[in-house]
Amino acid sequence: MNQNDVVVLNMEERGNKELQNEKTLICNDEEEEIICLDPSFFIDDNYQLTEFTFGSQQIQLFCLQSASTDFDLTGQLVWPGAMLLNDYLSKNVEMFQGSTVIELGSGVGITGILCRRFCNKVVLTDHNEEVLKIIQKNIELHSCPENISPTSHGLVAEKLEWGNTDQINEILQKHPGGFDIILGADIYILIQLLQVKEGGKCKFILAYVSRAKMMDSMIISEASKSNMHMNEVPGTKCIVGNLEGVIYEITLK
Ligand SMILES: C[S@@+](CC[C@H](N)C(=O)[O-])C[C@H]1O[C@@H](n2cnc3c(N)ncnc32)[C@H](O)[C@@H]1O
């Protein structure tokens, strides 16, 4: 490597030798070799143990208090959709009794972990490695006493990128009974996973938070095109934060 070919980001502007001590990563580039800052430089993992109350349910877990600037790290904090869905869960505990649940885009895991109190098993999923780490940490927090593994506690984290059939099949192999209920909070996906309970009926409970009118109508027309019933649960429309949210129950026609 020729020193003259090396570009150190921000080095010139800062004129600061300390930068050389920061962890660097050498990227391969045919044109020039670029030394980038280590990815950890951009990741805030200073999670705070935070308490939330939903009806009679209290739950503590680790999360950030404000969003990262990286759009792909949205899962590091609790979103309005989770507040809405957890409130719904706490008022409809009997709906989950005896069921097996999978959650999509779990973020820090507040919905799946609360739901586990009312059902047999919850598989929490996300596509982001950093987010999966905090889910795991929160699962461990809720798996005491310490000698009992999270798995035997009925809480498991799995990597799942929406639409990734290989990952879905892998999850179904590990959980061959399939799932009775799919949960989604503050996510925008109407998934093929509705068929995850072979021979039986699976319901997708989505806490939808409106961000754009166009998206509101698009999600309903997409559901209809994909042969899904999208039923707004009466009495769930409300303001969460400063946004309008609602619970949908989605089933296959
Ligand atoms: C807005 S956050 C909601 C997190 C959590 N459900 C809540 O309400 O607090 C969206 C979550 O979906 C995950 N996500 C986004 N795109 C995804 C994808 N294509 N596949 C799987 N997960 C995804 C993000 O990592 C993030 O955790």
The phi-psi region of residue 145 (left if phi > 0; otherwise alpha if psi is between -120 and 50; otherwise beta) is beta
Cβ–Cβ < 8 Å for 62, 156: no
* Ligand 1 within 6 A of CB of 184: no
Pair type for strands 57-63 and 48-54: antiparallel
Q: What is the pTM of this model?
A: 0.83
Q: What is the pLDDT of residue 22?
A: 46
* Ligand 1 within 6 A of CB of 79: yes
Number of helices (H), then strands (E), belonging to the chain: the values are 6, 13
**Domains observed in the chain:** 3-42 (no CATH), 67-252 (3.40.50.150)
Q: Tokens at residue 142, please?
A: 């809720």
Mean pLDDT of successive 10-residue stretches along the chain, which has 253 residues: 31 40 48 78 90 97 86 91 98 96 97 97 96 97 67 87 91 92 88 61 92 88 86 96 94 83
If one residue of 59, 108, 127 were mutated to test the ligand 1 pocket, choosing by the most ligand atoms within 8 A of its CB, it would be 127
CA distances for 104 relative to 14, 73, 148, angstroms: 42, 15, 25
* Burial class of residue 81 in the structure, from the number of CB atoms within 10 Å of its CB (0-12 exposed, 13-18 middle, 19+ buried): buried
Question: Ligand 1 center to residue 222 CA distance, Å?
Answer: 19
Q: What is the pLDDT of residue 21?
A: 46
Residue 224's Cβ-side half-sphere holds a number of Cα atoms within 13 Å equal to 5
Rg, the chain, Cα only: 21
Cβ–Cβ < 8 Å for 124, 106: yes
Which distant-in-sequence residues (6+ apart) come within 8 Å of 201 by Cβ? 180, 251, 252
Pair type for strands 238-240 and 228-232: unpaired
Long-range CB contacts (within 8 A, 24+) of 209-217:
209/79, 209/80, 209/81, 209/84, 209/240, 209/243, 209/244, 209/245, 210/243, 210/244, 210/245, 210/246, 211/243, 215/188
Residue 26 DSSP symbol: E
Q: What is the pLDDT of residue 114?
A: 98
- Going by CA atoms, what residue is nearest to atom 25 of ligand 1? 75
Q: What is the pLDDT of residue 240?
A: 94
